[in-house]
Amino acid sequence: MDFSDADLGAVWLTLRLATVTTVLLLLVGTPVAWWLARTRSRWKGPVGAVVALPLVLPPTVLGFYLLVAMGPHGPVGQLTQWLGLGTLPFTFPGLVVASVVYSMPFVVQPVQNAFEAVGDRPLEVAATLRASPLDRFFTVALPLARPGFITASILGFAHTVGEFGVVLMIGGNIPGVTRVVSVQIYDHVEALEYGEAHWLAGMLMAFSFVVLLALYGFRPGRWQR
């Protein structure tokens, strides 16, 4: 094996980023998915479209706007400064926030589909069995939507591992803070260290394949965009 300390640091940072992002995404994305699955509001379309934007936007566009928003003069930046947190760009928390936005559709859509597949009936049944709305959500909707959550976790994690453009825009290239595997590979290639690049790139390749195999191999046809 030919991993340098810098490589291992990048791998560790990437895993940390993907894990924190996935956990946050499940916490933030689940209510959004629930609302999108259940609402009859006319805002359903616009909100769904906003959530899906990262699917089509170039990461540089997303990264650019996030950079501006989180910068010292942007609304998010003003807020974080007012809270005494400084500004987020070029920090790990900044990367997490950007990743949450960037991977949002990969978590929200499978969970939304799963909630829609559960339908009204089981929740109505639970209501006639004395379960309050919150009770119904946790004891009926969540367990029945479990396949959607598994898909969402895998996709959210894998997609965060694979991000590059947004990281460069928001995080730059600070070892141990924002230099994730994809950026490290870029650095190796820039420096013509093809051997090192091969090791990391190959590892990402294998990781991605295993993840997608788990997703499509075991539960065929479950995930639709």
Partner 1 sequence: MAALGADAIRAVFRLGWPGFTLDVDLTLPGRGVTGLFGPSGSGKTTVLRCVAGLERAPGGLLTVAGEVWQDGERFVPTHRRPLGYVFQEASLFPHLSVRRNLEFGLKRVPAAQRRVSLERAIELLGIGHLLDRRPDHLSGGERQRAGLARALAVSPRLLLMDEPLAALDHARRRELLPYLERLHEELTVPVLYVSHAPDEVARLADHVVVMDGGRAVASGPLTETLARLDLPVRLGEDAGVVLEAVIGKRDSDWSLARADFPGGGLWVEDTGLPVGRRVRVRILARDVSLALERPEHTSIQNLLPGQVAEVRGETQPALTLVRVQVGDSPVIARITRRSTAQLGLVPGKRVWVQVKAVALIG
Token duo for residue 209: 């394949």
Cα 83 to Cα 100, 101, 199, distances in angstroms: 21, 21, 42
Q: How far is the CB of 61 from partner 1 (least distance, A)?
A: 42
* Element containing residue 43 per DSSP (H, E): none
Q: Which of 19, 39, 41, 132 binds partner 1 (CB under 8 A)?
A: 132
Q: Which of 125, 205, 206, 210 binds partner 1 (CB under 8 A)?
A: 125
Nearest Cα neighbor of 168 from 88, 59, 10, 32 is 59
Q: How far is the CB of 171 from partner 1 (least distance, A)?
A: 41
Token duo for residue 118: 């559960």
* Element containing residue 200 per DSSP (H, E): helix 194-218
Contact segment (CB under 8 A) with partner 1 among 6-14, 18-26, 48-56, 135-143 equals 135-143
Nearer to partner 1, 45 or 143 (CB): 143
* Element containing residue 138 per DSSP (H, E): none
* Element containing residue 62 per DSSP (H, E): helix 59-70
Is residue 7 within 8 Å of 196, Cβ to Cβ? yes
Q: How far is the CB of 13 from partner 1 (least distance, A)?
A: 38
Q: Which of 126, 180, 183, 200 binds partner 1 (CB under 8 A)?
A: 126
Q: Which residues contact 138 (CB under 8 A, 6 or more apart)?
A: none
Q: How far is the CB of 196 from partner 1 (least distance, A)?
A: 48
Contact segment (CB under 8 A) with partner 1 among 35-43, 101-109, 127-135, 160-168 equals 127-135
Does position 213 interact with partner 1 (CB under 8 A)? The reply is no
Contact segment (CB under 8 A) with partner 1 among 19-27, 74-82, 138-146, 153-161 equals 138-146
Give the footprint of partner 1 on residues 139-178 (CB under 8 A): 139-140, 143-144
Nearest Cα neighbor of 21 from 91, 99, 106 is 99
Contact segment (CB under 8 A) with partner 1 among 12-20, 52-60, 61-69, 117-125 equals 117-125
Q: Which of 40, 42, 128, 224 binds partner 1 (CB under 8 A)?
A: 128
Is residue 184 within 8 Å of 200, Cβ to Cβ? yes
Instruction: For residue 98, give the 3-state DSSP assignment.
Output: helix
Rounded CA-CA distance 63/53 in Å is 13
Nearer to partner 1, 8 or 117 (CB): 117
| Residues at the site binding partner 1, with contacts judged by CB under 8 A | 121-122, 124-133, 135-136, 139-140, 143-144
